[in-house]
Structure 1
Amino acid sequence: MWFPALSALWLAATAWGAVNRDEDGNIRTISLRTHTLKQPYLDSEMQSRWYDFGGDTIIRTDSYIRLTSDRPSQNGWLFSRVPMTATNWEITVEFKIHGSNQLYGDGFAMWLTKERGQSGPVFGHADNFEGLGVFIDTYKNNRPGVVFPYVMAMVGDGKTSYNKDNDGKDTEFAGCPARGIRNANVPTKLKLTYFQDKSLKLELQYQSEDEWKLCFETNEPPAIPAVTYLGFSAETGELSDNHDIISIDAKNLYVTGGSANKPTPGKGKGSVKSSQPKESGGSSWTWFFFKFIMFGLVVGGSYVGFTAYRANKKKSHRF
């Protein structure tokens, strides 16, 4: 007779599990369905509800979204249909750069920009963009002393061009070498975490599975436009490679209270950890409302179960 109460408790536990917490118990995550993309990628009408694609992009629903094939002079793109309006977010992308050539290029990019779905010369995307670009550059043009493949971030103001001749050295916000990210033996991933006005962090996985390498972290993040589109692009020139997107996992982040004692990061390429961002008012009310609903479910379920139990007990006394 306690089934209603147990059901309520089970429901509360399930709902709680849908909201993830970090090791400090302060950061909660909610999946951004509008910017998450996984197999089979397309619906029954061979379209994606949340993403558009173009150029030389091909989609194999059981395996990958291939932005470029291992052929010369290709470019392809994949962009969200709706803008990214979350204040704080985390985007994890599994990708694969691979080919059989001794010489290869050029690379692929992840975008958070005002523009969307515009082909161009910057890893398959238009130049003079406004927003944030993260480039995985596999071909070295002219950057002495830098190991390639190289991962770098650039903040575009809508006017400044990316300089291919020196691999974006003049406009680099932060970056790191990533030798071994091409033809890796483990799933290759990048994870970009952003707290508005607080921190920006890029982590990479390519050496060992579930082992993240910090590329850069800063507590002076760039001013990303309030309304941006999430996208990916790639290009090949005389040299080529396969550039595949396997999955995109986007999450909204918010802080529920308290502050962890974490070190403060340095700017740009510094690898120092960031301090815990402070919670916003909206996040606090959201979490309070969630706990209130869960409490009501548990209390209500317990009351119904107890009432049914007493009623059954009275009936048994009549016999």
Structure 2
Amino acid sequence: MTISESILQINDLHTTFYTPKEQLKAIRGINLNVKKGEILGLVGESGSGKSLLMKSVLGILPDSAKIDQGEILLENKHLESLTHKEYQRIRGKDIAMIFQDPMTALNPLKKVGAHIVELLMRIRGFRKKEAKLEAIHLLGQVGIPSPETRVGQYPHEFSGGMRQRVLIAMALASQPKLLIADEPTTALDVTIQAQILRLLKKLQEENGMSVVLITHDLGVVASLCHRIVVMYAGMVMEEGTVQDIFHRPQHPYTQALLDSIPRHENSQKQKLKVIEGTAPSLNKLPKECPFAPRCKKAFERCFQEVPHSRQVSSTQQSACFLSEEVNS
């Protein structure tokens, strides 16, 4: 893939937490591309580094964390060395993010419409009257009924699903080239979850933007994404198309995630499969394959060195010694 085909390119990125006693390496040498006009699923268990990776891209890392190696390019423009003011011009305008919890992202004392109007005036230069009309249009676009009335209501007057739609409307207000959705359906019931995911797909197609969908659930990305990147312990374990990941997984961790998806055809008495053990903590990251202690297929080499990602097909990569043997 050339840079011109990518809207976002990440090269050998390392992000570290610095504490008075130790350095915690949270993102370890990640390479990742997001193509123009695609939906990329970023999948992995909690603590795998998915959100931190995208916060590194957005320049909104906690004070204790910093990028100490690597490149982040948005349409061939380096982001990792931008000043705070330079980042502010890009954030919202070129890249927007939908956060996991709408109630923490929305000011409870500010009307829903005011959130959107403020963005439109600041980023797109709208006058207040024009901005309010556009806010009503955006609320209608994301499926909020009676947007003329709802624009003047407060966040607590909306359900969880409707608040999430407000966040999507806010993200769309800036007409971003890249939209990052961080677990946008986690707190919602299954029916509302499906509605939000369908809405994201519809808006992505209509606006031609690229989307990174962060989730811990592979089942969520099956019908939505074009490609999937599987993360574990701050590293990429596998990358491929949806067909690759669901039908030809090359990494045992990917297979374990797939096995843990509930299936309708399973007997009600059949227990859900779980991945035994726990992910390593940041202060105890192994020097070998990070998944080896939990992997049923691990062998001696897995406990001696870290496998590097290698191409197993034209569309798929895997960081596993097993895929080296199978595809050599």
TM-score by length of 2: 0.27
Determine which structure has the larger strand proportion and give its number.
Answer: 1
The structure with higher relative contact order (CA 8 Å, sep 6+) is: 1
TM-score by length of 1: 0.28
